[in-house]
Homo-oligomer: A and B are copies of this chain.
Amino acid sequence: MWTVRAMSALSGISIRTLHYYDEIGLLRPAEIGENGYRLYDEASLMRLKSILFFRELQFPLKEIAAMLGQEDFDPREALSRQITLMEMKRQRLERLIALARKTLDEGGNIMDFKAFDDHVFQQYAKETKERWGHTEAYQAYEKRGASDGPEVQQAMMGIFAQLGELKALSPAAPRVQEKIEALRQFITAHFYPCTKEILQSLGQMYTADERFRKNIDAAGGEGTAAFAEKAIQAYCGEK
């Protein structure tokens, strides 16, 4: 059993914050001593870690509390989603760094703010919140996954397999770009009109979300997902 100070030292968060988290019911002490002291245990530490991961991803504390409170909340699934979200953040950071470097030595395009865009992350964050929020939107999400018949999936993986064979080329090479165009038309034909923006979002999902990445790499060989993302960037990049 640890006091607030010990918890603070272990985790690096402030005592005030622990008080606050208690106050809003986000992290209640395991026990209250006779003297009124807050006492925490190992379960508290684990919960705190879960909280910190979500906080890192700028989830509002109230929603974190709500999610952790759900009976069907699954720490492992949460962790897996958190990893995906962190990968997305990292990719955004990399785009920002690239933009900054370009601005520094080329001057760059004044009106280019694309790198600041956040909606891929926000979208997946929303889905995650809905995962433990039981909204209608999640129902729709569940269904969508099921409605993709296996033959459609396989056809799409065929495109990635072809793309995988071109990994040695530059992502911007014409033969590669052809495949991206084919991918786009395939999506338009089978799912929804695939604008460049949507395509770009998908590209990021391919590398950030493990489920996508594994499937794609299985179809086209190690690194195909990453290659696809770069090719998509090139496709969408210079208008």
A interface, over-half SS: helix
In A83-129, the 8 Å CB interface with B consists of: 83, 86-87, 89-90, 93-94, 96-97, 100-101, 103-104, 110-111, 113, 116-117
Q: Which residues of A contact B (CB under 8 A)?
A: 10-12, 42, 45-46, 49, 52-53, 56, 76, 79-80, 82-83, 86-87, 89-90, 93-94, 96-97, 100-101, 103-104, 110-111, 113, 116-117
Contacts of A97 in B (CB 8 A): 83, 86-87, 90
Q: Is the CB of B86 within 8 A of A56?
A: no
- B83–A101 CB distance below 8 A: yes
A100→B83 contact, CB < 8 A: yes
Give the docked Cα–Cα distance between A96 and B87 (Å).
10
Q: Is the CB of A53 within 8 A of B12?
A: no
Question: Which residues of the partner chain B approach A79 to less than 8 Å between Cβ atoms?
Answer: 100, 103-104
- Give chain B nearest CB distance to A137 CB in angstroms: 23
